[in-house]
Structure 1
Amino acid sequence: MQQRRVGGSGLQVSRLGLGTMTWGRDTDEHEARESLIAFAEAGGTLVDTAAGYTDGESEALLGRLVGDVVARDEIVLATKAGVSRRSGERVVNTSRGHLLASLDASLRRLGVDHVDLWQVHTWSSASPLEETLAALDRAVSSGRTSYVGISNYTGWQTARAATWQQAVPGRTPLVSTQVEYSLLNRSVEREVLPAAVATGLGLFPWSPLGRGVLTGKYRGGTPVDSRGASPTFAGFVGAYLEESSARVVEAVARAAEGLGWTPLEVALVWVRDRPGVTAPIVGARTAAQLRGSLGLEEKSLPTELVRALDDVSQRSA
């Protein structure tokens, strides 16, 4: 798999990342193991998790596999901090003390002494930005991470954070931002993507398959074994099961039929090859689902199809 530099940094990752949000809940250890094996065999290196995924079990499960399934130095290990759940409620805390304590807990669960990329999971106005970013400086200077980034920041938040880190020598520059981006949600193109490009950040799209809707699996209804039928993800997926999204899904399906591809392949190649994108993060519940995303290395969309998909998805831009 082709490797790409992350923004203006020296960090290199595979141009497709493996997401682990469902590990420890919908994805058991057997499926996680098979997924990691398939990903590594395809040349994938970027593996992304977070302290807030399944209350830390995603990190713990990944930690049990690193060194067993794949050597530590053969992957780029990325995690996030700042979001957790207490009694089922989402809690955001980006204070310096909380972030560094969360990083230490992540390292214990992962069974490593450092991660390659540590990201602030989301913006919070409850903590001063300079305090949040000071935690990133400390994480790098103490050797707990090699690079730092952000996630789910708006355009002005991205520009402010990146510029703050670049303003004074000695601060650790941000190298990446992770945001939702797909044919069903192109809103990042208005401000986030230009801000990332202008400040030298690589961009990792999450949910590049439109929360699974772009695979076409929901065209005839909601399958009982899908995320859309899960109490945890029904609302998350349901946001894209409306008429305007259906038109995009049908266009993707027609393009796939004409190329002899799957709709998944069309949607994923489209976002992978967008200007400014480093690597889409693909999260599959099973290894079989993941393998459908791993045969894209030699594929690229014809220019006329890219234009057609751009036109039909313009409402999501």
Structure 2
Amino acid sequence: MEERQLGRTGLRVSAIGLGTLTWARDTDEAEAAEQLRDFVDAGGTLVDTAASYADGGAEELIGSLLGTVVAREDVVLCTKGGVRRTARGGVVDASRGALLDSLDASLARLGTDHVDLFLVQSPDPRTPLAETAAALRHAVDSGRARYAGLSNHPGWQTARVATLLEADTPLAAVEVEYSLLQRGVEREVVPAATALGAGVLAWSPLGRGVLTGKYRRTVPADSRAASAHLAGFVAPYLGTPSAGVLDALLTAAEGLERTPLELALGWVLSRPGVASALVGARTAAQLRSALDADLDLPQAIGEALDEVSAPPVGYPESR
């Protein structure tokens, strides 16, 4: 598998990253072990998780597999903090104490003394960005994390945190949803990341599963869209708003005798600044379809998909 440089840092990550949103919830230990083994055998390195995934269960599962299924040094570990569990549910908290406590708990669950990349999972309107940036700098300075970044933050916050971190602790990555069905990040986030030297990690590059074509006619009983806790996650991309893009993708895939998954992943990985596309498969068989994919995207097909999926752009990006 191709390795790519993460922005202007020295960190290199695999073009396909292993997402673990479903681990310890929909993906059990046996399936997770098979996924991780297949991923590393295929040349994959980047494993993406978060303290909030299965309330820490995903990190615990990863930790149990490191050193038994694969070696710790064979993977690039990325985790996220800033969303803590309370009696009222998840609460965004990117304060210094919350982030550092979250990171320490993540390290304990993962069974390691450091992660390669630590991200703030979500913007926190109650905490000054200077405090959040200071926590990221301390995470790196203390050795708990090798690099730091942001997830799901708008362009202006990305630029501000990068400025606050300054050259001694560069903003290494921004992790954002990016697919043929979600291109809003192209307006400000991706240009900001490119200008600042941060690499883009694209989560849900398959449009929350819709771009595989599995939902074209019905909702499979074993799919995310049929599950009680993930149906709302998939729902925004079902139906008329996505139909035109999906039809174009399926037509192109049929003409090339390729799968829609291959073209959708290839399109994301062809975008400027993208270092890795994070694939969160529920089963090992689903992951293998991505690992075995031909990701070479013909230029004409890429241009056609660009046109049909172009996001609306207005002032001030376009006048």
TM-score (norm 2): 0.96
Counterpart of 1:311? 307
- Note the 1:55-204 alignment, pairs <5 A: 55-87=55-87, 89-166=89-166, 170=168, 172-204=169-201
Give the AA of the match of 1:314: A
Shift of 1:87: 4.0
What is the SS of the residue equivalent to 1:54? Answer: helix
- Whether the aligned pair in 1 keeps the contact of 2:265 and 2:295 (CA below 8 Å) is no
The 8 Å contact of residues 184 and 316 in structure 1, kept in 2 or not, is answered as no
Q: Given residue 301 of structure 1, which amino acid in structure 2 is its aligned partner? A: L
Tell me the distance in 2 between the aligned counterparts of 1:88 and 1:285. Answer: 28
Question: What is the letter of the counterpart of residue 254 of structure 1?
Answer: T
Alignment deviations for residues 67-98 of structure 1 (CA, whole Å, 9 cap, x no partner)? 11111111101101001333462210101011
- The gaps in structure 1 that reach 5 residues or longer are none
Q: Deviations over 1:78-124 (max 9, x none)?
A: 10100133346221010101110111100000000111111111111
2:295 maps to which of 291, 295, 299? 299
Q: Deviations over 1:248-286 (max 9, x none)?
A: 111111111111111111111110111110001110000
- State the AA in 2 paired with 1:108: A
Are 1:149 and 1:177, in contact at CA under 8 Å, matched by a contact in 2? yes
Q: Distance in 2 between matches of 1:316 and 1:278?
A: 25
d(CA) in 1 for partners of 2:127 and 2:55? 22
Question: Does structure 2 retain, via aligned residues, the 8 Å contact 1:154–1:192?
Answer: yes
Residue 276 in structure 1 maps to residue 276 in structure 2: no
Measured in 1, the distance between the counterparts of 2:61 and 2:162 equals 32
- Aligned-residue sequence identity (percent) comes to 59
**Paired letter, 1:299:** L
What CA distance in whole angstroms lies between the structure 1 residues aligned with 2:159 and 2:143? Answer: 26
Question: 1:302, CA displacement in angstroms?
Answer: 1.0
SS state of the match for residue 176, structure 2?
Answer: strand
* Root mean square deviation of aligned Cα: 1.2
Residue type of the partner of 1:276? G
Aligned to 1:266: 263
Amino acid paired to 2:132: T
C-alpha distance in structure 1 between counterparts of 2:222 and 2:23, whole Å: 16
3-state SS in 2 of match to 1:80:
strand
**Conserved 8 A contact 2:225-2:234:** yes
| Structure-2 separation of matches of 1:7 and 1:96 | 25
**For the Cα contact (< 8 Å) 2:60–2:110, is it kept in 1?**
yes
> Which amino acid in 2 is paired with 1:77?
L
The whole-number CA distance in structure 1 between the counterparts of 2:274 and 2:23 is: 25
Q: Is the 8 A contact 2:134 2:165 kept in 1?
A: no
CA contact (8 A) 1:155 1:192 kept: yes
Distance 1:248 1:287 in 2: 27
Using the size of structure 1 for normalisation, the TM-score is: 0.96
In structure 1, which of residues 234, 240, 257 is the aligned counterpart of residue 231 of structure 2?
234
Residue in 1 that maps onto 2:316: none
Q: Does 1:223 align with 2:223?
A: no
Tell me the secondary structure at the aligned position of residue 207 of structure 2. Answer: coil
* Secondary structure of 2:222's aligned partner: coil
Is residue 184–residue 311 contact of structure 2 (8 Å, CA) maintained in 1? no
Which structure 2 segments of 5+ residues have no match? 314-319
Give 4+ residue runs of structure 1 displaced > 4 Å after superposition: none
CA contact (8 A) 2:199 2:273 kept: yes
Q: CA deviation at 1:238?
A: 0.6
| Pair 1:23 & 2:23 matched | yes
Alpha-carbon distance, 1:141 to partner: 1.3
Distance 2:249 2:84 in 1: 35
Secondary structure in 2 matching 1:258: helix
Structure 2: distance between partners of 1:299 and 1:186: 19
Q: Does 1:244 align with 2:241?
A: yes
CA distance in structure 1 between the partners assigned to 2:78 and 2:88 by the alignment: 24
SS in 1 for 2:80: strand
Name the CA distance, whole Å, in 2 between partners of 1:90 and 1:104. 18
Number of aligned positions between the proteins: 313
